[in-house]
Amino acid sequence: MLRRSGQNGTIVVQSGFYRVKWRVDVEGQQERINMSAKIAPVVFDKGGNPKPPSPEVRRTARDIVEQSGGNSKQHFNRVVLGEITFRKQAKVYLRWAETRDREPIRDTSSIEAALNKWILPEIGDLSLGGINNITVKPLVDKMKKSLSARSVNTYVEYIQQVVTSLRDGETGEPIHRRKWDASVMDLPVVKQKEQRRPSLRVKTVNQLVKESEGEEQALYILLSATGMRISEALALESKHFVNDGRTIEVR
């Protein structure tokens, strides 16, 4: 769906009156319908020709268009976009994230889990246009009671990505532009020094490699050299080694 650009209406002379013509969105159809409204009697010059519309006539024309909802964002969202819910757009986002050509997300299970457990029960039925700093804050307050600061921030990032994913088909720009504010949402500060990042020291890794052999030794070397998770390493198959063995595709 395309976002409609603003319109002032076209002023014409018809049957002795200045009239304004414009278009409005109608529920259930993509194309807009033509509208027309009378503004004021035509003013003629000495030669009997209609004078150009005065500033007051043009101002009245703009007011008529605005009052009709022709330029209304709310009218556009309700009629054309159908006030799509966050829940519905989340499904669209997940499908797009998995199938896009540029940096697809191979496994969206962690995002789906966050959506299903925390996000959708709270804001899933809100219209996408109604998702903002204020409506997200109660969810943030709830998550802070049970989740780490990093998780809360990550889940809010998921919300932002879903809202941004609804885009204008003509320009590719987000339909719902948001200026997200961590202070308004009262997001917890992520303190890197407090993040749990367990790791083995070099001496320990060297000892593991030295005292092992065969596939076990290869596994220790692979894990320490690449930083892969154990589940990722155990899932590797020969087809994941590409570029003459110099590159490993983690799927």
The first and second tokens of residue 127, run together, are 């219209």
Residue 26 to residue 80: CA distance in whole angstroms: 7
| 137-188 pLDDT tens trace | 999 999 999 999 999 999 999 999 999 998 876 678 888 889 999 999 999 9
CA–CA distances in Å: residue 232 to residues 121, 222, 228, 249 = 31, 11, 6, 10
| Domain positions in the chain | 10-79, 86-194, 202-248
Answer yes or no: pTM beyond 0.75. Answer: no
pLDDT tens digit string along 56-96? 998 898 888 777 765 555 555 554 555 688 998 999 999 99
Burial 4-23 (b: 16+ CB within 10 A, else e): beebebebeeeeeebbbbbb
Q: pLDDT for 8-44, tens place per residue?
A: 778 899 888 999 887 765 444 445 567 788 888 999 9
pLDDT score of 119: 97
